[in-house]
């Protein structure tokens, strides 16, 4: 899909090592700050995985 309107992420960091998880959170944060990026819904049990740019913060 080249231009999605919505990203649905269910535990996207599950199974990643610490470095991979940090990289994912950084990339998701960049997406959250980008006004051209699609809306994002993410389910996680780990608050530290929520990007700081998300509306929750």
Q: Is residue 56 part of a domain?
A: no
Q: Is residue 22 part of a domain?
A: yes
Contact status, residue 5 vs residue 38, Cβ threshold 8 Å? yes
Q: Is residue 57 part of a domain?
A: no
Q: Is residue 1 part of a domain?
A: no
Output the pLDDT for position 20: 96
Q: What is the pTM of this model?
A: 0.78
Q: Is residue 43 part of a domain?
A: yes
Residue 11's domain comprises 6-49
Output the pLDDT for position 14: 95
Q: Is residue 45 part of a domain?
A: yes
Output the six-digit token pair for 51. Answer: 């990007």
Query: Which residue shows structure tokens 């051209």?
Result: 36
Output the six-digit token pair for 57. Answer: 């913060």
- Alpha carbon of 23 to those of 1, 9, 14, 55: distances in Å? 22, 15, 13, 20
On the 0-12 / 13-18 / 19+ scale of CB atoms within 10 A, 5 is: exposed
pLDDT in tens, 1-54: 788 999 999 999 999 999 999 999 999 999 988 999 999 999 999 888 887 766
Number of domains in the chain: 1
Q: Is residue 41 part of a domain?
A: yes
């Amino acid at each position: 899909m080249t231009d999605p309107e919505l990203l649905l992420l269910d535990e996207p960091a599950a199974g990643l090592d610490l470095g991979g998880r940090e990289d994912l959170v950084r990339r998701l944060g960049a997406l959250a700050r980008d006004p051209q990026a699609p809306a994002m819904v993410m389910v996680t049990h780990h608050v530290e995985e929520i990007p700081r740019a998300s509306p929750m913060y």
